[in-house]
């Protein structure tokens, strides 16, 4: 891979060079432009394998956006009307929208000075209706996963990490998005790595991974 040097890191413009252009040309020339199979096309599977190795998880499944990653993960967990999902009040709107789309109730809690959700506020907000907790690793800075996962376990709730902005970030030696029921990533144009649009779901649970495969393939 060719090394590139730039004077600054633009936050709203992806860096696209000859390597990326050649890769796109290769796809176009193959005549295989869609994920038409249950397991995904050649390049989808290749991407999933590479991200799986980076995260050191059992499964990575590509989807069409970070929003779809969150929606699909909550769907696989069975989130439905009457359930509550806890999330930080400071996040992108998609984190809340996917909860509403499933007719569940978003429960907003405040953040700390590092812009990540406050576990103490989660502890106060959790209830018997809590189905999942969504910590957001904002700006690539990991949330306090140890505390959040302990709260979730004690209330039989799942943790879905919104790691849209944190591919490559680590918490206590493990990649963000790799230690909870689900980790959700975005490949949008302004993210750490981009495919223009796109997203990915990571999990170590075989049954949950199979549910995700079914949901992403015609629901």
Q: What is the pLDDT of residue 43?
A: 85
| Residue 92: both structure tokens together | 């992108």
CATH classification of 40-216 is 3.40.50.2300, yes or no? no
Q: What is the pLDDT of residue 137?
A: 96
In angstroms, rounded to a whole number, what is the distance separating the alpha carbons of residues 109 and 171?
Answer: 22
User: Mind listing the pLDDT tens digit of every residue in the chain (219 residues)?
Assistant: 566 666 666 667 777 889 989 988 988 888 777 765 655 678 888 999 999 999 999 999 999 999 999 999 999 999 999 999 999 999 999 999 999 999 999 999 999 999 999 999 999 999 999 999 999 999 889 999 999 999 999 999 999 999 999 999 999 999 999 999 999 999 988 888 888 889 999 999 999 999 999 998 877
Angle at Cα 49 formed by Cα 45 and Cα 54, nearest 5°? Answer: 150
Q: What is the pTM of this model?
A: 0.90
Catalytic residues: 191
Q: What is the pLDDT of residue 217?
A: 82
| Residue 4: both structure tokens together | 């590139």
Q: What is the DSSP letter of 202?
A: E
**Of the candidates 60, 48, 33, 27, which has an alpha carbon nearest to the alpha carbon of residue 205?**
60
| Angstrom distances, CA of residue 174 to CA of 69, 138, 170, 177, 208 | 20, 17, 5, 9, 21
Q: What is the pLDDT of residue 54?
A: 96
Which residue do the tokens 């975005």 mark?
186
**Of the candidates 156, 166, 159, which has an alpha carbon nearest to the alpha carbon of residue 145?**
159
3-state DSSP assignment of residue 172:
coil
| Strand-by-strand arrangement of the 130-133 sheet | 59-63, 199-203, 182-186, 158-162, 130-133, 84-88, 105-109
179 near 153, Cβ under 8 Å? no
Domain ranges of the chain: 40-216
Q: What is the pLDDT of residue 186?
A: 95
């Amino acid at each position: 891979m060719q090394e590139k040097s730039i004077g600054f890191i633009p936050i709203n413009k992806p860096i696209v060079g000859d390597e990326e252009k050649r890769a796109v040309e290769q796809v176009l020339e193959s005549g295989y432009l869609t994920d038409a199979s249950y397991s995904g096309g050649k390049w989808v599977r290749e991407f999933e394998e590479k991200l799986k190795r980076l995260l050191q998880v059992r499964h990575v499944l590509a989807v069409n956006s970070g929003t779809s990653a969150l929606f699909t993960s909550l769907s696989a967990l069975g989130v439905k009307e009457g359930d509550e999902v806890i999330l930080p009040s400071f996040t992108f709107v998609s984190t809340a929208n996917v909860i509403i789309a499933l007719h569940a109730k978003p429960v907003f809690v405040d953040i700390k000075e590092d812009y990540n959700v406050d576990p103490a506020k989660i502890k106060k907000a959790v209830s018997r209706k809590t189905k999942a907790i969504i910590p957001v690793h904002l700006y690539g800075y990991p949330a306090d996963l140890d505390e959040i996962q302990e709260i979730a376990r004690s209330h039989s709730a799942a943790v879905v990490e919104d790691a849209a902005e944190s591919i490559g970030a680590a918490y206590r030696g493990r990649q963000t998005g790799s230690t909870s029921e689900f980790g959700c990533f975005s490949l949008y144009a302004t993210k750490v790595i981009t495919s223009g649009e796109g997203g990915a779901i990571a999990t170590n649970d075989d049954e949950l991974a199979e549910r995700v495969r079914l949901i992403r393939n015609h629901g």
